[in-house]
Each structure stands twice: as C-alpha cells, then as structure tokens.
Amino acid sequence: MAEKVNELGNSITGAFKRLKNKFKLFMFPELKEQQSIEANIVDINSKSKKVFCDFVEEEVARRETESPEYVNFRSEPTALMSTAQLATLHGKRIESHIVITRDGFLLTLHRLRNPLQEGNKIGNFTVLLHHGLLGSSADWILLGPEKSLPYILSSGGCDVWLANARGNYYSRGHVSNNIDSLEFWDFSFHEMGQYDLPAVVDYIKKVKNSDEQINFIGHSMGATAFLVMLSTYPDYNKYFRIAIFLAPLAYMSNADGPLKVLTRMAKSPPEQLLKLLGEGEFVPNRKIPIWIANKYCSGPNIYCVNPLLFLSGSIPEEYKWDKSLIARILYHIPAGGSTKTILHFAQMVNSEKFHKYNHEDQEYPLHLVTVPVVMFSSSGDFIATITDVLRLYFSVSNSIDHYVIRDKNLSHVDFLWNPQAKELVYDKVIDFLSNGLNLNASKANEIL
C-alpha cells in the first residue's frame, strides 16, 4: 500500500513539474531557446573534449605506416600530450573553460593558476596569450617548465589565460554545424577577431568579476585577430592595458616563401587548388604533398612537409632543437585551421594591404586601435618581416616600441620554440609588460 502511495505521489510531483515548466515556456518563450542552447553545449562540450584524444589515437595508429624519419620520435612520451596534460606534467595548475561565441563556436580557454613564488614577482597582471597560425594553446608551453613564457608569467604572479582559435584541436565544437561540413570551416582570422576574441574577453571579465585591464600577448595570427577585434569594436580598447605582438601578421607585402606562391590564386582559387589544400580544413591530413615540399622547401622532408614550417620557411637548425622538443612540435603542429585563413593571408601578400577577405577596398581601420602596443620582429623571419612590422608600427595610434632582433636566425616559430627564446624574447616581453607604459617610443631598439 505504501509503495502505491509513494508511486502516486511521485507521479503527481512529476506532473506538476512538467506543468510548471510548460507554463514558464509559455510565459517566457525565450527560455526554450536558451534551454536548447544549453543542452547543445553540454552535448558538444563532451564531444569537443575528445577531439585531441581522437587525434592522439589516430597518430598512434599511424605509427606503423609513418615515414621512416618519425621512428626516432616514437619514444618521446610528451609528443602526444594535450595542453592540460603537459601543464600537469610540468607541475602546474591548469583549468579548462568552454566559451561560446555569438556565431555558435565553442572554444577551449586554458587558465594557469600557479602560486606566487617569492622573489620572482612580475606583477599581479591578467595576461591573455593567443597562439599563431595553425597553432594552439600548447604552442606556448612546448619549451617545457623552465623556459615557457606562460609559466614564467604565472610563477611571477600573473593570472594567465591561453586562447584557442576556432578550428584547432581544442575548439572544434559548434551548436549546429558539423565539423565535417564546409559551413564549419567557412572562417578566417576575421571571424576570430569579430567573434572569438570578444567572447574570450567577455568571459574572462565575467569570471574575474573585475574591471582590471587585460594584458595581451599575441604571436603571428594572434596579433592579427587582436587588430581585427579592436578595429571592428573600438570599445574593447578600454579593456586592455598593453598589447605585445610577437612577429605580427598584418601588412605582408614583403613576405617571402611558399605563401607567396598562392597569392595570384588566393582570391578565386581553382577547384584543383582547393582539392590540394583542402576545401574546408587546411591540409586535413597534416602533411604537404612531398612533390610540393621538395619544390619550394630546402631542408629535410620531415620538416618541409609540416604545413606551418613549410609556409613560414622555419626549417629548424637541428643542433638547437633537441629530440624531445622536435617530437612535441611535429606532433602538435599543425593544430588545425581553415584554408580560408591561409588564402586570406595570401590575399594580403598580393594586395599589400590589411583588408577583409575578398575585399581589398575594405581595409581595417587601424587608427581605431588605441591600446599601447609593442611589436617584436626578427631579421630571420620571412613572413613577418621587419619592414612590414615597421609599417604596422606607424599604422596604429599608440605604438610604444618596435623591438628588432637581428642576426640571430630567429625564424617565425622561433619566437616560441627557440631554446634561447627566454633570453632573446621573453625577458624583454616581461620588461615591457612591467614597465612598457613608462617608456618613451624608440624606433631603433634592437638586439644585435
């Protein structure tokens, strides 16, 4: 008898809950859409967390058919670790946050929260780092626990956030578009600046519940997206204290290497080229065809077939990169990106302007970027050249310094992975972060 009474009670309670929910949706129809979005986020969130794991499994499965050059790297245990796994191995506290953009992409945002180490205080700053072309948050920590910029900042007292742009391993969720669809990959760095970065900034401000200004550090395309954001939404200038660009890509008229080959076809790419590059995701199999690599790249095939190293001409000097570092770089890069992004950069090489995709007449109004900006460039970088970075320096409203590194063979990716990056780049980055707002502009600040 008691069981029947309990069953009847539960049935009545459930009926009342359903009736109450229907009444709420009737009175507030916008809740229905919100509940649907939240359900999608839960579902996609769980899927997106598996993306890097799926990549790892695929890489492991491919080992038997890999090119012979990869054999020496198979024993490196950190090669297939995700950002969170690497940071944990390095003894750091890391969090993963999911951010949803206005156009439905789900982005993973990593946060380092390490305790302050006495005697090594940089400042109580909030720092947002954004990776470069075909990269991910992992790029910043591949140098290991002693030399990676995020760890240096975090140990010095900074609240460090690592962004992941749409399309890379950590940001492959969407509320409606399937990752295999062309709709999913219909973006360039414009959408990263228009949607991704504003969503990330809004999320950080909400989590911290503070009006504290953010310090931005962007490598390569990370700087590009930042410039798009502030020239599109000038109100966001007020949220930043300083921006530091490492090898920024904006004006690219002097860029050299394989990227230049695409320039004449970038605006109206033939179908054959799209099949070669990938109609949606750029080189989804993660390897440049060997015949193209041999034609436009001089170096060992293991590096020339890597899409990022190929495009940037950043063939490593092997005596500088140890086996463990090489393995991590080759397995983490490329982390994914769209063909449209590559074509957008190629269009800018051809047009000699910083403009919207397929619209050379619609240049980004860089005078609206009023955040104090520091720029780094290197004589060894063939796609973010000193001349082009200098042009960018004079195009934004509040440039502090253009720091030039000469005759150190510092390539486009060496800003992140050169074993001497701390001495050549990061020590100066920290100096600008701490004291940059007090410096007078200098157009000839160089390291020789």
Residue 181 pLDDT level (bands cut at 50, 70, 90): very high
- In this predicted model, what pLDDT tens digit does every residue of 359-404 receive, in sequence order? 999 999 999 999 999 999 999 999 999 999 999 999 999 999 999 9
pLDDT value at position 412?
Answer: 96
Residue 445: φ, ψ to 5° = -85, 110
Closest CA to 375 of 445, 439, 435: 445
Give me the DSSP letters along 232-247: H-GGGGGGEEEEEEES
What is the band of 448 on the pLDDT scale with cuts at 50, 70, 90?
A: very low
Count structural domains, the chain. Answer: 1
- Greater pLDDT, 105 or 272: 105
For residue 15, the model assigns a pLDDT of: 52
Q: Residue 9: its pLDDT value, please?
A: 54
Tokens of 125: 């700053």
Spatial CA neighbour of 120 closest among 157, 160, 94, 159:
157
Domain containing residue 303: CATH number = 3.40.50.1820
Q: Residue 225: which pLDDT band, with cuts at 50, 70 and 90?
A: very high
Task: Read off the pLDDT band of 77 (50, 70, 90).
Answer: confident
**Contact indicator for 48, 106 with CB cutoff of 8 Å:** yes
Compute the C-alpha angle 192/196/199, nearest 5°: 155
Each residue of 29-49: pLDDT tens digit? 444 444 444 445 445 444 454
Q: Are strands 442-447 and 399-405 parallel, antiparallel or unpaired?
A: parallel
**pLDDT attached to residue 65:** 55
Q: 292: domain range?
A: 50-447
Residue 85 lies in a domain: yes
Residue 265 lies in a domain: yes
Cα–Cα dist 65/436, whole Å? 51
Structural domain includes residue 42: no
Tell me what the mean pLDDT of segment 89-113 comes to: 96
Helix residue ranges per DSSP H, 28-162? 30-48, 51-62, 83-89, 149-155
Residue 22 lies in a domain: no
Q: Is the pLDDT assigned to residue 405 strictly greater than 90?
A: yes
Of the pLDDT bands very low, low, confident and very high (cuts 50, 70, 90), residue 217 is: very high
Closest by CA to 171, choosing from 204, 147, 195, 206, is 195
Decide if 23 is inside a domain. no
31 assigned to some structural domain: no
Beta strands in 227-304 (DSSP E): 240-246
| Residue 62 confidence (pLDDT) | 63
The span from the first CA to the last CA of the chain, in angstroms, equals 90
Tell me the two tokens of residue 47. 């899927």
Percent of the chain past pLDDT 90, that is, above it, reads 64
> Which whole number is the average pLDDT over 104-130?
84
Between 134 and 39, the more confident residue is 134
Specify if 154 maps to a domain.
yes
Q: Provide the sign of the torsion angle of the four alpha carbons 383, 106, 78, 147, taken in this order.
A: positive
In this structure, how many other beta carbons lie within 10 angstroms of the beta carbon of residue 394?
10
Q: How far apart are CA 334 and CA 346, in angstroms?
A: 18
Neighbours of 12 (CB within 10 A): 10
Q: What is the pTM of this model?
A: 0.86
CB within 8 Å of 257: residues ≥ 6 apart: 296, 311, 312, 313, 382, 383
- Split at pLDDT 50, 70, 90, the class of 6 is low
According to the model, what pLDDT value does residue 38 have?
A: 47
For residue 299, pLDDT beyond 90: no
Instruction: Please give the pLDDT value at position 258.
Output: 86
Bin 253: left if φ > 0, else alpha if -120 < ψ < 50, else beta: alpha
Average pLDDT over residues 318-325: 82
pLDDT of res. 263: 82
Peptide bond into 334 cis (omega under 30): yes
Q: What is the mean pLDDT of the chain?
A: 86
Residue bearing tokens 């109450």:
20
Give me the phi and psi of 264, to 5 degrees please.
Answer: -70, -20
Q: Does residue 345 lie in a domain region?
A: yes
